[in-house]
Structure 1
């Protein structure tokens, strides 16, 4: 009798645990469910490991993802075929350079893309997205520089941003050494990498001694830590692979490595009434009739470094209009089932309103992290084909 009870309990537990919510609009529900279960399990394991004193939550996530990625890679063909791949450093920053092996016509320089990987500034190492980053130069025939920036929580803001900016400047300065036209170099990235690309693009508008960036090309970017009650956070914040709690954890690991204020951010109690009526709120919600507010006049709750949420190097959506107007032509990808959807949409609309050339591709069947497997996930393959097409036309 005991064995029957144990088996029944195990079956019920598995049925409950594997009952992953899948939005009706997702066209490959089994893929979404599998990813959701994987990332939900990863979260449970990471929190348990931290509670047991084994390692930090973020570090367990990173090690587990890298381990699973390495195992999966053994069952796939070599995704680097046709490329020369070199690991080196640019002014002390680790980078990986992907160059097409095919001979390029003499005197005809290639285009270049400096790419920043996603993973919440903490959860994913550069190696884990090697396949995605190799795909771009293979299809585009360009030179891609992937930046292995320092990760949170051991390295907090502005470490990741600083590494990305340093690497971008170095490549622009030495582009011709890689047979790249320095006037045809852009920046790109996915998720947290999209955040870094947008932040670098804004900073480069202030640089006079470097060629202007040709494009910024952002894939479901994280752009603001101001409002965690947007419609997309409300509608999809309970869904894996990117829940509201996890996204706020990423922001806090990057900001100050202190998750004790997570609930304050989740309820938007990290901003004041004055801020909620200011131009900063208007950058995200264009329906707000905002009152101009100087950053120096803002009083924040007692959360370490919380004023950084208005720094465009940390949250690019908070850049002022004068800087936004100077940005290069921009590509923004957003997905319907993604807590980051609304800020990507708001950014694209704002740039367009300020006169920046924008292409915004929104995927009604898309979800965050879909780009993790462009061979299996249909919407990911479509998105990357469109991404490469944009770069071919605009780099």
Structure 2
């Protein structure tokens, strides 16, 4: 028995050490950290830790113990230390079955405040109210606004469009009575990061023309995917191996979020599921034509997409639902002004540029903030010392400055 008690912890130690070594090897063999990126060692350490945790989650999922997304969220939330800010009153609420967290400045105000509705990122797999708590608290304090963070439902139990519908329904609920939270109905902003930013674009479009609700004052899209049809854009080719959003992770998100079999991954990547007529009609908004030449950096655009595969289209046509960039012109022209944030070392960089052009073509005022040393997901690290990056704080400062200008 004594031998057993000795062998068991030793076996566990060897197992965890083996997984760690595998994660480190995978990082150095499959990822690319640009030499011009500030604090590359920090990024390598964080990405190795991320790979370690997700690998443990994959093992637990294969053993039938716990799903990988749930394991990562649980572990992440346990490691977060939520600091109370005496200047911010935090309230956990439910809008129907949707958990939300309200951040209100505790100081009295002589007039209704601005409202910010925030959709967090994480690919509908990661992220939570706790993991974005400090970010929302910071926004509320620095902009003197009431911030509502939506805890939409995620994988593995819920797929798209449930997550988006939760965001939209929570927003509608809030807009029906913003005065109850001390918010001026004419100054409500919707803000989101990563997939949350895609939901911002979709929700803002959905609310166009709603006479029963106040008009959205502005939309803020931080590192947003606005389509998952053409995955051959310059930034996707240039930075497909840069943490934290690599090509492998992107396709994992897409397949799981849209309930697509992973065997169709290559068909989505090479575009063989795109009908030729559809491509000809929407090529203007989906191709690299609107990307400045200075950002293409040795990019070679394919002359044609992969030969059309009708079976691939029929099996994966749900990806065409997540394309706010292709909304009708009538809808686009009525959208509120937008603030778009993009990071140079982000495979989604070009999405912001394409959407910027789409909005500008229809007279929608657009402000674009591009961070040269930024990478996808960096914003959540803005206060995570010693692992924060200058780009993280710069994005937060830009968002705060824009909100205060409204």
Same fold (TM over 0.5): yes
Number of residue pairs matched?
Answer: 367
Give yes or no for contact 1:194–1:221 (8 Å, CA) kept in 2.
yes
Give yes or no for contact 1:325–1:355 (8 Å, CA) kept in 2.
yes
Q: CA separation in 2, counterparts of 1:213 and 1:14? A: 44
Q: Describe the superposition over 1:236-290 as per-residue Cα deviations: whole angstroms up to 9, x where unpaired.
A: 11222111121122122221253332222222222233333221x32122639xx
Give the drift of 1:15.
7.5
Q: Describe the superposition over 1:314-350 as per-residue Cα deviations: whole angstroms up to 9, x where unpaired.
A: 3312212221111101001000111111111111122
What's the TM-score once normalised by structure 2's chain length? 0.84
Partner of 2:119: 116
Most deviating of 252-261 and 133-142 = 252-261
Partner of 1:176: 179
Give the drift of 1:40.
2.5
Match of 1:345 among 353, 361, 366: 353
Q: CA separation in 2, counterparts of 1:84 and 1:347? A: 35
Q: 1:25-36 counterparts in 2 under 5 A? A: 25-36=36-47
Q: Describe the superposition over 1:53-87 as per-residue Cα deviations: whole angstroms up to 9, x where unpaired.
A: 3333333333333333x3xx27xxx2533110001
The 3 A distance-change label for structure 1 pair 36 and 219 is: same
Partner of 1:94: 99
What's the TM-score once normalised by structure 1's chain length? 0.86
Give yes or no for contact 1:300–1:306 (8 Å, CA) kept in 2.
no
Give yes or no for contact 2:275–2:313 (8 Å, CA) kept in 1.
no
The 3 A distance-change label for structure 1 pair 67 and 205 is: same
Give yes or no for contact 1:153–1:257 (8 Å, CA) kept in 2.
no
1:55 aligns with 2:57: no
The 3 A distance-change label for structure 1 pair 266 and 90 is: same
Q: 1:197-346 counterparts in 2 under 5 A? A: 197-256=200-259, 258-279=261-282, 281-285=283-287, 287=289, 300-302=310-312, 306-311=316-321, 314-346=322-354
1:83 aligns with 2:91: no
Partner of 2:389: 377
1:186 aligns with 2:185: no
Q: CA separation in 2, counterparts of 1:380 and 1:196? A: 22
Q: What are structure 1's unaligned runs of at least 5 residues?
A: 1-5, 289-297
Q: CA separation in 2, counterparts of 1:242 and 1:267? A: 19
Partner of 2:401: 389
Q: CA separation in 2, counterparts of 1:43 and 1:264? A: 25
Q: CA separation in 1, counterparts of 2:71 and 2:284? A: 38
The 3 A distance-change label for structure 1 pair 101 and 56 is: same
The 3 A distance-change label for structure 1 pair 52 and 276 is: same
Q: Describe the superposition over 1:92-118 as per-residue Cα deviations: whole angstroms up to 9, x where unpaired.
A: 32211000011112xx11010111010
Secondary structure at 2:107 match in 1:
coil
Q: CA separation in 1, counterparts of 2:77 and 2:138? A: 19
Partner of 2:150: 147
Give yes or no for contact 2:273–2:309 (8 Å, CA) kept in 1.
no
Give yes or no for contact 2:230–2:287 (8 Å, CA) kept in 1.
no
Secondary structure at 1:121 match in 2:
coil
The 3 A distance-change label for structure 1 pair 79 and 197 is: farther
The 3 A distance-change label for structure 1 pair 103 and 14 is: closer
Q: Describe the superposition over 1:110-150 as per-residue Cα deviations: whole angstroms up to 9, x where unpaired.
A: 01011101000112222111111111001001100111111
Q: CA separation in 1, counterparts of 2:256 and 2:314? A: 12
